[in-house]
């Protein structure tokens, strides 16, 4: 198993849903996935202080699974988000 990294900066999260039957885009939900990433220690917290954005893609597949990709956000000269 690949060693997991704890992110110490804000991240963008992209979630790919592999599904036998595609659902309406507004029914894609990531709450449990993000909470699991926090529980596993991948993310510091699920607040805007640590998560810049979340996007979803769904792909029709015989094997159902969910894949999360985390990309560190390069800090800019703007003020951090308070939360």
In this predicted model, which residue has the larger pLDDT, 77 or 17? 17
The parent domain of residue 18 ranges over 11-72
- Name the percent of the chain lying above pLDDT 90: 72
- Given a contact cutoff of 8 angstroms between Cβ atoms, the answer to whether 10 and 50 are in contact is yes
Average pLDDT over residues 27-35: 91
Question: d(Cα 38, Cα 51) in Å, to the nearest integer?
Answer: 11
| pTM listed for this prediction | 0.80
1 part of a folded domain? no
Average pLDDT over residues 22-45: 92
- Which tens digit of pLDDT belongs to each residue from 45-56? 999 999 999 999
Domain count, the chain: 1
58 part of a folded domain? yes
pLDDT tier, 78 (very low <50, low <70, confident <90, very high otherwise)? low
Question: d(Cα 81, Cα 52) in Å, to the nearest integer?
Answer: 9
Question: d(Cα 54, Cα 11) in Å, to the nearest integer?
Answer: 9
């Amino acid at each position: 198993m690949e060693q997991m990294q704890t992110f110490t900066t804000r991240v963008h999260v992209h979630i790919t849903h592999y599904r036998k039957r595609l659902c309406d885009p507004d029914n894609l939900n990531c709450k449990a996935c993000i909470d699991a990433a926090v529980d596993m220690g991948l993310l510091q917290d699920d607040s805007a202080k640590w998560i810049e954005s979340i996007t979803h893609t769904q792909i029709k597949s015989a094997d159902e699974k969910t894949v999360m990709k985390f990309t560190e956000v390069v800090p800019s000269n703007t003020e951090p988000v308070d939360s």
